[in-house]
Structures are given as structure tokens and as C-alpha cells.
Amino acid sequence: MRVGMGYDVHKLVYDRDLILGGVTIPYEKGLLGHSDADVLIHAIMDSLLGAAALGDIGRHFPDTDNSLKGISSIILLEKVRDILASANYEIVNIDATIIAQKPKMALFIPEMVKNMSKALNISESQVNVKATTEEGLGFTGTGQGISCQSICLLEKIS
């Protein structure tokens, strides 16, 4: 068994869609990034790659690669799934926390879980997503950005 931890953060800006867990969330701002800037999926991908000691998303999907500009992070998550399978790892579970003052996430979490479990070919019961605010403190609390933390457990397939 191997444990991995992931963290990602992106700045909130106008004129971008807010996409988390592959769900477009109605909001006045979106996350800035080379891809769709899905901070939730990015943190999850880093936890998965880290647990397998396979680097991070920057190594596999660099922001200098123009073919990845604007790409859906769901597609990148599918690629991570394939990388893990090639290295003989199976996902046991994922637990992630979205840290954002606004907007409220609760209504969108079931669809996020569905999207990510489908992309990873695992059961929805293996993916947990929750959200919290920072009570107005820090860059997330003041609405400057959104961050996410993720932890996962992998098992080596013999």
C-alpha cells in the first residue's frame, strides 16, 4: 500500500469558467491556468502520481506544452489512470478537500465525484470530495484563489 498527498492552487480571474471536478460551476470568476485549471483534479492527480513515486503533473503535463493549452483536466486524469495501470497500481481510495470562500460547492460535489470516478474507472464510493471555507482568511478567504488538498491510497497489483 502507498499513500500520496497532492496540493494545488489557482488564481481566480474574470473571463474564465470555474471548473472543478469536471463540473462547470456558475460563478463570476474562474481559475487561471494553462489547462482548464481544475484545481481539484490537479491535486488528485498529484496525490496519485506521488503515491506511485511517478513525479507530478508538471513532469507529465508541463505548462510549456502548447498541445495541453485549455485541455480538460478530466482527459489528463484519464492519462494518469493509464500511467498508474502501466505501473501496476490500483486506486484504493481518494479523499480531497476544496478550499474556497465562494461559491458554495455542496450541490456540485456529487457530479464531481461521478465525473472523476468514471475517468478513473473506479466506484464512486472510492472518491470523497468535501469543501470548506477559510472564514475570510488568506488568499482563498478573500476570494483571490481556490486551493485543494488530496490524499490517496494505492495498492500494487502483483
Residue pLDDT, tens place only, 22-35:
999 999 999 998 89
Nearest-CA neighbor of 67 among 35, 33, 31?
A: 35
- Its domain, for residue 67, covers 2-156
Find where cell 491556468 sits: 33
Find where cell 499513500 sits: 3
Residues within the annotated binding site? 8-10, 34-35, 42, 56-58, 61-65, 100-106, 132-135, 139
Nearest-10 crossing angle of helices 109-120, 39-51: 40
Residues within the annotated binding site for a divalent metal cation? 8, 10, 42
Residue 46 CB burial class (10 angstroms; 0-12, 13-18, ≥19): buried
Interacting residues of 137 by C-beta distance below 8 A, sequence separation 6+: none
Residue pLDDT, tens place only, 65-84:
888 888 999 999 999 999 99
Q: Say how many domains are in the chain.
A: 1
Task: Determine the pLDDT at residue 141.
Answer: 87
The CATH number of the domain holding residue 74 is: 3.30.1330.50
Task: Determine the pLDDT at residue 63.
Answer: 87
